[in-house]
Amino acid sequence: MSQTRMNELYRKIAYYDATYYGTGRSEISDYHYDLLYRELVELEQQYPHLVSPNSPTQRIGSDLTEGFLKYTHATPMLSITNTYSKEELEKWIHDIQKYGALSCIAELKMDGVACALHYQDGRFIRAVTRGDGTRGDCITENVRTIRTIPLQIDAPGFLEVRGEILMSYPRFHHLNKELKENGQPPMQNPRNTAAGTIKLLSPQKVARRGLDFHAYALLAEGSELSHSKNLEKLKHLGFHTVIHSEPFAKPAPLLSFCSEWERKKENHPYPIDGMVIKVDEINRYDEIGLTAKSPRWVRAYKFAPDRGITEITAIDAQVGRTGVITPVARLRPISLSGTTVQNATLHNYDEIYRLSVNVGDMVTVEKSGEIIPKVISVAEKRTTTPFELPFHCPSCHSPLVKEPHTVALRCVNTACPAQRFSFLKHFVSRAAMNIDGLGPAILEELLQRKMIETPADLFKLTKEELVPLPRMGERSASKLLKSLEKSKNAGLASLVHALGIPLVGSETARVLAAETGSLEKLMNMSCEELEKIHTVGPEIAASLFSYFSTPENKSLISELKNLGLRTEETSGKNSDTSLEGSTYVITGTLSEFTRAEAKKLLESKGARVTSSVSRSTTALIAGENSGSKYTKAESLGIPIYTETFLENLTKKTPH
């Protein structure tokens, strides 16, 4: 029964992973996906002996790597000669015909990070970055977490698959939203984010980012005939291949395929920066040969990012939730990448001086993909004076403060209306208290009428006060009050997140809630105690400590509590006895837990932790440098888990 359900869950999760890959959009909500995933984790905890090594839960690696090992590519990963000109591309397709009747394939040039995957007798064994083309970094454990890479394929012998590690636009926007909620600077583009992610030293963090892989080459015995056949084979093996054309001998259909994608690129969920055109007949590659740096049998046609010149009509200051001021350039409207662009980011005030730009100058603006347009350079200098830093907050007019060691300007007035507005917007958002019926317009209205100042005031609103508001009425007022009432039970994790403590996002809030069980306990913890909590580093600990030491914050919390908001985690882990009756042994060095933490975690779920492996051991949890216990467990046929098992135990169980 359990085995049947587990197999069903494997299939379902694999299906959703695969469909997510193809479109970058999920067929199932994150919430329902998580439910399936958690059900599987729970079944696996209940029946550890039934866990398959191919289970989706086993994808999350756990070994902390000290830097990255280097690996020499058997076949160098050469760079490709680029052109931005269709005419040059056409000439190349034409010229290549001097080697005889050849056909070419055009494929999307994905804007990610090139990577080679190695398989031995069907098993994924290694992932190597391009590096300098000859030698790359081994990022095996990180790549193992990418759900769309099959860990087991049906192919004998050694096989290398090359492709691009990518982040989709939806994922990228989601990540930036999270960073913004945490008061951290946003990532610049999906490519840089993917490149940074695969070099993270924690596979768990990599797994959470949701990277993807698009394959574009197969190197294996018997794969030397044609590129198009190899792409077919990769699909059969379970890889997602780059979108490509049929093989054509004439330039015209290839060029029109390129033009079609240059038009459509904006609507694709993954970043594309051009097209790659390859000769299909691999058996002719040696004959066609290489130049000093790149093969002659392939060309890249790169899309020029959409740029235009327009005038800066204003540079406005925007006030964030924590008071950080961001300059935004207002532009004379210009059409780029099929959209009308009126605003462009200037990142921070140092950027304004670096560009030497002021209101009235003509600037070059660039927009590529779904990225926020940015000012690249001054195209025509029309002003003679430098831009003057704002001295006062545009909202409350209090003097701005330049933060030491950062380029940020801040409004430090906690009563600042713009900050209050940003804070309230965050507090009621879906990821926080999830209060329906409090859109920006209503919040603005309530603030302007001085009906609210802090989130606590929201819970004091009465029907009599609400009904007369514009666009409100009897029904909406009742609905809003109901939604406010319901949110009082949102739970500790949501509340901690909603407080908007710098660096504390939804993920950290969830861990804090699970570990402490009550807001009172969390508030009274020292920096040292906070740092001991899994995933809380010194910076987050300091931020929490300073937040809870501030009198205004203390009074807000006690007010919220008096208004009936739940500040305790009722479904605490103490009631969880899912591991009762089982015995675990821990060996080796764990990366995310200390031994004591791991022991405490297991015991909190009712398990026993012993020091030696015997026949009565339920499973061994092995970290890095596991020794004799590992060998003994193997010889006794006792299941061996990675740290992932512990990670999964810390995940919240569904209500």
Which residues are documented as binding site? 30-34, 79-80, 107, 130, 164, 278, 302, 393, 396, 411, 416
Q: Which residues pair with 586 in a beta bridge?
A: 621
Tell me the closest approach of the beta carbon of residue 324 to Zn ion, in angstroms.
11
Tell me the closest approach of the beta carbon of residue 181 to Zn ion, in angstroms.
20
- Burial grade of 287 (CB within 10 A; 0-12, 13-18, 19 or more): exposed
Q: What would the DSSP string read from start to end of 322-388? A: TSEEEEEEEEEEEEETTEEEEEEE--SHHHHHHHT--TT-EEEEEE-TTSPPEEEEEEE----SPPP
- With tokens 């039934």, the residue in question is 50
Looking at residue 138, the DSSP 8-state letter turns out to be B
Pick from 251, 345, 340, 266: nearest CA to 303: 266
The CA distance from 442 to 431, in Å, is 19
- Of 21 and 421, nearer to Zn ion (C-beta) is 421
- Of 28 and 396, nearer to Zn ion (C-beta) is 396
Residue 650, φ and ψ in degrees, nearest 5: -80, -15
Token readout for 281 is 């007949």
Decide if 481 contacts 461 (C-beta within 8 A): yes
The CA distance from 536 to 514, in Å, is 13
- With tokens 């034409």, the residue in question is 94
- Burial grade of 519 (CB within 10 A; 0-12, 13-18, 19 or more): buried
Q: What would the DSSP string read from start to end of 218-286? A: EEETT--SBHHHHHHHHHHTTPPBPPB---BSSHHHHHHHHHHHHHHGGGSSS-EEEEEEEESBGGGHH
- Of 80 and 396, nearer to Zn ion (C-beta) is 396
Looking at residue 439, the DSSP 8-state letter turns out to be -
The CA distance from 322 to 411, in Å, is 8
Tell me the closest approach of the beta carbon of residue 447 to Zn ion, in angstroms.
13
Tell me the closest approach of the beta carbon of residue 265 to Zn ion, in angstroms.
40
Decide if 244 contacts 163 (C-beta within 8 A): no
Residue 163, φ and ψ in degrees, nearest 5: -175, -165
Decide if 322 contacts 339 (C-beta within 8 A): no
Tell me the closest approach of the beta carbon of residue 318 to Zn ion, in angstroms.
11
Q: Return residues touching Zn ion (CB under 5 A).
A: 393, 395-396, 411, 413, 416
- Of 31 and 391, nearer to Zn ion (C-beta) is 391
Set 12, 109, 199, 605: catalytic member: 109
- Of 395 and 591, nearer to Zn ion (C-beta) is 395
- With tokens 């861990």, the residue in question is 511
Helix then strand count (H, E) for the chain reads: 25, 21
Decide if 450 contacts 420 (C-beta within 8 A): no
Tell me the closest approach of the beta carbon of residue 317 to Zn ion, in angstroms.
10
Tell me the closest approach of the beta carbon of residue 398 to Zn ion, in angstroms.
5
The CA distance from 206 to 38, in Å, is 19
Q: For the range 422-431, what are the long-range contacts, defined as Cβ-Cβ under 8 Å and sequence gap of 24 or more?
A: 422/319, 422/320, 422/321, 423/321, 423/455, 423/500, 424/452, 424/455, 424/458, 425/321, 426/181, 426/321, 426/498, 426/500, 427/455, 427/458, 427/498, 427/499, 427/500, 428/455, 428/458, 431/181, 431/497, 431/506
Tell me the closest approach of the beta carbon of residue 397 to Zn ion, in angstroms.
7
The CA distance from 370 to 366, in Å, is 11
Which residues are documented as binding site for NAD(+)? 30-34, 79-80, 107, 130, 164, 278, 302
Tell me the closest approach of the beta carbon of residue 415 to Zn ion, in angstroms.
8
Helix or strand run (H / E) with residue 651 = none
Pick from 534, 526, 532, 535: nearest CA to 503: 535
Tell me the closest approach of the beta carbon of residue 358 to Zn ion, in angstroms.
24
- Of 413 and 508, nearer to Zn ion (C-beta) is 413
Q: Is 91 a catalytic residue?
A: no
Which residues are documented as binding site for Zn(2+)? 393, 396, 411, 416
Question: Which residues carry out catalysis?
Answer: 109
